[in-house]
Amino acid sequence: MWDIDAEAVALTARIVKLVPPGQLLPIGIDPPNVDFQPAGIYNLTQEGHDAPGNFSFLSWDGDNSAPSLAYSLCNPDNEAFTLPVWMDGDPGKSNSKGVRACIDKWIADGTTMLIPLWDKVRGTGNNVEYHLTGIAAFVLTGYDQQAVDNLTGRFVEYYQLPTIPGSYGGPPCPKDSNLPECEGAAVFMGLTR
């Protein structure tokens, strides 16, 4: 007989039968000296000093075109990944009608969105990559109307799991919730280290 010992943390997450589109947005936040406070409003995109010309937009598929970014902002098309991970950047302001329309929709809906957190950058221009270390939940609140380069959001909470499923659906729903994103939701319970 062998004695086996392991440490784990029990976690829950919402598994949505109909995933709300764009729940995990391809926007990266650099919070090295920021301790996000609930209900605080923060600048989510700004020109990175580590990646000139990039406003912390990410590319799930390596394509750094405005149509690809607009699609990823409107649709849950991220591949599954485990943190930490290096992710391609999407250089430029990407100030297209499609990008603006998707962001306008999320601002109008007031939906809680998941936004990746990064701590390091490597490469420049079209070859920039962000080192993703976490995920935070935000509600988008606005942006500079001249260009989508100063997007702001209200902080809700940190996402605690190290893995992000493809087309992720969101955090657990409160019991008896009337939130639209909780309709048809099931709950996942599992262990992680």
Assess if residue 127 is contained within a domain. yes
Assess if residue 76 is contained within a domain. yes
Residue the block writes with tokens 């270390």: 133
Tokens describing residue 169: 């659906």
Strands in 64-144 per DSSP E: 81-82, 85-88, 112-122, 129-142
Per-residue pLDDT averaged across 109-124, rounded? 88
Grouping H, G, I as helix, E, B as strand and the rest as coil, residue 101 is: helix
Assess if residue 55 is contained within a domain. yes
Residue the block writes with tokens 């990039």: 54
Assess if residue 169 is contained within a domain. no
Please give the tally of structural domains in the chain: 1
Whether the full predicted model's pTM is greater than 0.75, yes or no, is: no
Assess if residue 176 is contained within a domain. no
Helix (H) or strand (E) holding 100: helix 97-109
**What pLDDT digit, counting tens, does each position of 132-167 carry?**
998 888 999 998 776 677 789 999 888 877 777 775
Neighbours of 117 (CB within 10 A): 21
pLDDT value at 45 more than 50: yes
Residue 157 β-bridge partners: 137
Neighbours of 75 (CB within 10 A): 14
Return the DSSP state at 161.
Answer: -
Residues 78-92: b if buried by 16+ CB within 10 A, e if exposed: beebebeeebbbbbb
| CA-angle at 16, arms to 11 and 22, nearest 5° | 105
Work out the mean pLDDT of the chain and round it to a whole number. Answer: 74
Contacts of 31 (CB under 8 A, 6+ apart): 117, 136
CA distance 111 to 74: 12
Specify the pLDDT at position 164. Answer: 75
Which residues span the domain enclosing 114? 26-159
CA distance 56 to 44: 8
Assess if residue 150 is contained within a domain. yes
Assess if residue 15 is contained within a domain. no
